[in-house]
Amino acid sequence: MHPIFLHLQKRKYEILLFALLQHLFIGIFLNDLPNYTKVIWPINMLILGVASVGVFVGKSRWKKAMRNILFLLVFFFPITLPFFGDRANFMTALNIAYVVFFTYIFIEIMQFLIRPSYINVDIISASACGYFLLLEISVFLLQYYFYLNPNSFKGINTTGPATIYVDFVYLCSVTITSIGFGDITPSDHHTKLILSLIGIVGQFYSVVLVGILISKFTSKVSKE
């Protein structure tokens, strides 16, 4: 294997972490949000799809095939968004595909985190990836309910798909971190309960993750 690919493989979790961060928060650097859905989002998903390849290196053929199928789906949706984005069924399918895609990667990340008894840069980076994957799953899960029922949330900017996405990234971020400003709120029992569950899972992940990292660190120290 070429040295460049070997280096990229060694840094696969750091690359995935960068891809997740740019997908979630690139709006910080954008003034033209409508342009985001036409140009930036497909590029984002291409970067994220390529970055996720490393996580599945050495895995079974069916796992790689499933990742490739899911990636093609999540890459296809933003490309066709300008043509079909006004159709409710299209946005419903888009959000389901994204939830499945990010959940699939999250499960693979968690399997990696639980296995080794050591701690290194990969473990730290993979832990951060897991946190932001939870955020991605939460965003698209809530968007799924929002597109089914636009009245399920109050305070969402409905100018376009980009503003809706940014608002849900914001809502899920302040929920998982327990900041909870309260300017965007759920208004039906489904979204209230799901948002509550997201907050609980986010806190649970943080507590369990800290426990795993401390356990791995103490195990490494005792061996030394």
| CA–CA separation, 79 and 85 (whole Å) | 10
Task: Locate the domains of the chain by residue range.
Answer: 3-223
**With a threshold of 0.75, does the pTM exceed it?**
yes
The H or E element containing residue 142 is: helix 121-148
Number of neighbours of residue 144 by Cβ within 10 angstroms: 18
State residue 181 phi and psi, 5-degree precision: -70, -30
- List 185's β-bridge partners, or say none: 154
Mean pLDDT of 159-164: 90
Write the pLDDT tens digit of every residue in 46-87: 889 888 888 887 788 898 899 889 999 998 998 888 888 777
| Type of residue numbered 29 | F
